[in-house]
């Protein structure tokens, strides 16, 4: 059984809303290409075109997209694009910023003339070379890699939605990162779910790595309209090239058992069942 979806939920940036939000004093629009929690892929090309019409510089955070999507800056017509190497199996601690010719930005670190006078200091040459090599490898195998990830993600989504009641898939089913899955389980507290999965050797999260130290529900899920109590029962699982279908089966079997066990300990679920309410 799926959780009801509120008509007010917004998982995509509406181009019309962007056009109305741009003011005469707006100088920059920055929109994430693909969300790191729910995997939603935004219509960047259309959004960038609106910014261009308004004479505003457009930046996209493509950290999640690079190595997962076919990203072409000229096709997207973006002015600025940022990426991080570790997202496509490159070294940690190195990234890149694409700056379209003619776009002028201030120096990030003043002093030396490194990186075209934008960031002073000795360059991390091994990191830069490693990032370039990793990105090249990622795009040489992109189609095969994505096919593998989609197979795993779809198997997980189908199995969980079939075997566990009162669950919601967060993010669009089709227009999402190929290896991203995000669920919300009603009557479940996310932290307990993560601890029990960890005991089974399953690494997952309830939000982004950036907020892993917080016990608050995901601000992304709250922003798309989920109520606090359902957002608190979220689970994010992402797949990589080394994951297998057998591992998906293992995840699902343990999720079924753990969710049922946690719900049996929930007074809210017990009261819900006694009253015969519908979620």
**207 and 193 in one domain?**
yes
**85 and 104 in one domain?**
yes
**146 and 122 in one domain?**
no
The pLDDT score that the predictor gives to residue 278 is: 55
**148 and 90 in one domain?**
no
Residue listed under structure tokens 């670190």: 109
Of 92, 116, 140, the position where a domain reaches its end is: 140
Residue 213 lies in a domain: yes
**Pick from 217, 224, 168: nearest CA to 9:** 224
Residue 5 lies in a domain: no
**120 and 64 in one domain?**
yes
Residue 24 lies in a domain: yes
Residue 28: pLDDT above 60?
A: yes
Determine whether 243 is an active site residue.
no
Span 124-147, pLDDT tens digits: 999 999 999 999 999 999 999 999
Structure tokens at 220: 């992304």
The confidence band for 208, taking pLDDT boundaries of 50, 70 and 90, is very low
Residue 152 lies in a domain: yes
Provide mean pLDDT across the span 252-271. Answer: 91
Provide mean pLDDT across the span 87-103. Answer: 95
3-state secondary structure of 136: helix
* Mean of all residue pLDDT scores within the chain: 90
Residue listed under structure tokens 């059984």: 1
**247 and 131 in one domain?**
no
Q: Which residue has the higher pLDDT, 248 or 4?
A: 248
Residue 7 lies in a domain: no
The pLDDT score that the predictor gives to residue 1 is: 44
* Positions of E strands within 85-216: 95-99, 167-169, 180-185
Of 112, 140, 168, the position where a domain reaches its end is: 140
The catalytically annotated residue of 74, 101, 210, 246 is: 210
Provide mean pLDDT across the span 173-181. Answer: 95
Q: Which residue has the higher pLDDT, 29 or 110?
A: 29
CATH number at residue 155: 3.90.1150.10
The pLDDT score that the predictor gives to residue 207 is: 60
**203 and 90 in one domain?**
no
Range name among 60-64, 91-95, 109-113, 184-188 with the lowest pLDDT average: 109-113
Q: How is residue 154 annotated by DSSP?
A: H
Residue 4: pLDDT above 50?
A: no
Calculate helix-pair angle for 245-264, 142-163, nearest 10 degrees.
Answer: 30
**Pick from 89, 95, 121: nearest CA to 108:** 121
Residue 211: pLDDT above 80?
A: no
Burial of 153 (0-12, 13-18, 19+ CB in 10 A): buried
Residue 243 domain boundaries: 142-275
Whole-number Å distance between alpha carbons of 165 and 173: 18
* Positions of E strands within 179-218: 180-185
**149 and 111 in one domain?**
no
247-255 contacts, C-beta under 8 A, 24 or more apart: 248/152, 248/155, 248/156, 248/159, 249/159, 250/200, 250/202, 251/156, 251/202, 252/156, 252/159, 252/160, 252/163, 254/197, 254/200, 254/202, 255/160, 255/164, 255/197
């Amino acid at each position: 059984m799926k959780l009801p979806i509120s008509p007010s939920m917004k998982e995509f940036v509406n181009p019309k809303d962007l056009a109305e939000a741009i003011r005469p004093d707006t100088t920059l629009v920055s929109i994430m290409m693909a969300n790191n929690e729910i995997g939603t892929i935004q219509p960047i090309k259309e959004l960038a075109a609106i910014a261009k019409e308004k004479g505003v510089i457009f930046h996209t955070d493509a950290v999640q997209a690079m190595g997962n999507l076919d990203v072409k800056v000229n096709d997207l017509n973006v002015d600025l694009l940022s990426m991080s190497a570790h997202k496509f199996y490159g070294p940690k601690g190195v990234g890149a910023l694409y700056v379209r010719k003619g776009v002028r930005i201030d120096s990030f670190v003043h002093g030396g003339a490194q990186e075209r006078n934008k960031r002073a200091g000795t360059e991390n040459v091994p990191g830069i070379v490693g990032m370039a090599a990793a990105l090249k490898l990622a795009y040489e195998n992109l189609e095969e890699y994505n096919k593998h990830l989609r197979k795993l993600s779809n198997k997980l989504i189908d199995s969980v939605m079939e075997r566990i009641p009162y669950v919601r898939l967060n993010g669009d089913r089709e227009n999402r990162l190929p290896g991203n899955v995000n669920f919300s389980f009603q009557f479940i507290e996310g932290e307990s779910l993560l601890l029990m999965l960890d005991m089974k050797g399953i690494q997952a999260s309830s939000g982004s790595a950036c907020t892993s130290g917080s016990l608050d529900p995901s601000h992304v899920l709250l922003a798309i309209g989920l109520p606090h109590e359902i957002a608190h029962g979220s689970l994010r699982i992402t797949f990589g090239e080394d994951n297998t279908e057998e591992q998906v089966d293992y995840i699902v079997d343990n999720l079924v058992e753990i969710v049922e066990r946690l719900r049996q300990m929930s007074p809210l679920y017990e009261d819900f069942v006694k009253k015969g309410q519908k979620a």
